[in-house]
């Protein structure tokens, strides 16, 4: 789909590695100017260079989702430099695990600050850029745990359920502004987070980050007449995760 997104501006959180990096590369290959965002400067620099080396356009933009000022500054910079925002992919997130009876409340606060509050802030800032232009697409990356539960993942699961609620409400609210909102729920993907959460799963049977990037591109390929609320994409195995 080379050129499909020519002239469009995209921002990808968690863009330095894993799913975010694959999404950024795919959007750039389709012609978008991509702002690659994450906390680790070296990772987003490498991701932006990889896109540039392949002939695409990318800017490394540091952002800490747990820091409101950092989020707002990043979006302000996008508005100043590009003058618009057409695509936001809210991919960044963290995973902290353990049984409920022993799970530190501080870790729950950290999960909430990044996975829910950070995603909310990004949606808010994106809407402030997209609503005046009467167009745009916000794609939130949740997880299979947004609709299922697994032992020792209650805190993480709670935040991903919350992302589902945020997405559903925003999708309705954004309609009048010409902005579409969808959520993708991946099953097991070969990333560092999944390897930590499920060390019992062999990498060979997991989805690849590029599979999720393809789902993002599917959403962006739809006509303005169509809206997709959610995509649950899982690995081909006997169990959904």
Q: Per-block average pLDDT, block size 10, for the chain (241 residues)?
A: 85 95 97 97 97 97 97 98 98 95 97 98 98 98 91 95 97 97 87 68 77 95 92 73 49
Give the integer Cα–Cα distance in Å for 48 and 177. 31
Which are the catalytic amino acids? Answer: 156
| CA distance readout (Å), 87 to 81, 115, 205 | 15, 19, 30
Tell me: domain 9-233, CATH 3.40.50.720, correct? yes
Q: Per residue in 15-41, pLDDT tens?
A: 999 999 999 999 999 999 999 999 999
Q: Per residue in 100-126, pLDDT tens?
A: 999 999 999 999 999 999 999 999 999
DSSP conformation class of 190: S
Sheet strand arrangement including 179-186: 57-62, 33-38, 9-13, 87-90, 136-141, 179-186, 230-233
Helix or strand holding residue 56 (H, E)? none
Quote the pTM value.
0.92
Where in the chain are the domains?
9-233
């Amino acid at each position: 789909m080379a050129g499909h997104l020519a002239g469009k501006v995209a921002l990808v959180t968690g863009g330095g590695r894993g799913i975010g990096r694959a999404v950024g590369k795919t959007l750039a290959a389709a012609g978008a100017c991509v702002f690659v965002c994450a906390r680790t400067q070296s990772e987003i620099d490498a991701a932006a260079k990889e896109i540039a080396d392949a002939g695409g356009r990318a800017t490394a933009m540091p952002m800490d989702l747990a820091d409101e000022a950092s989020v707002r500054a990043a979006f302000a910079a996008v508005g100043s430099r590009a003058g618009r925002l057409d695509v936001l992919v809210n991919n960044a997130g963290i995973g902290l695990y353990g049984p409920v009876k022993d799970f530190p409340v501080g870790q729950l606060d950290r999960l909430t600050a990044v996975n829910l509050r950070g995603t909310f802030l990004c949606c808010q800032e994106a809407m402030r850029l997209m609503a005046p232009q009467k167009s745009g697409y916000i794609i939130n990356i949740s997880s299979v745990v947004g609709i299922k539960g697994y032992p020792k993942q209650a805190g993480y699961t709670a935040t991903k359920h919350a992302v589902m609620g945020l997405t559903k409400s925003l999708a309705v609210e954004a309609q009048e502004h010409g902005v579409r909102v969808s959520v993708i729920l991946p099953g097991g993907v070969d990333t560092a987070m999944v390897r930590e959460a499920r060390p019992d799963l062999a990498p060979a049977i997991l989805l690849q980050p590029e599979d999720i990037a393809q789902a993002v591109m599917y959403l962006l390929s739809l006509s303005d007449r169509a809206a997709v609320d959610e995509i649950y994409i899982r690995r081909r195995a006997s169990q959904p995760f």
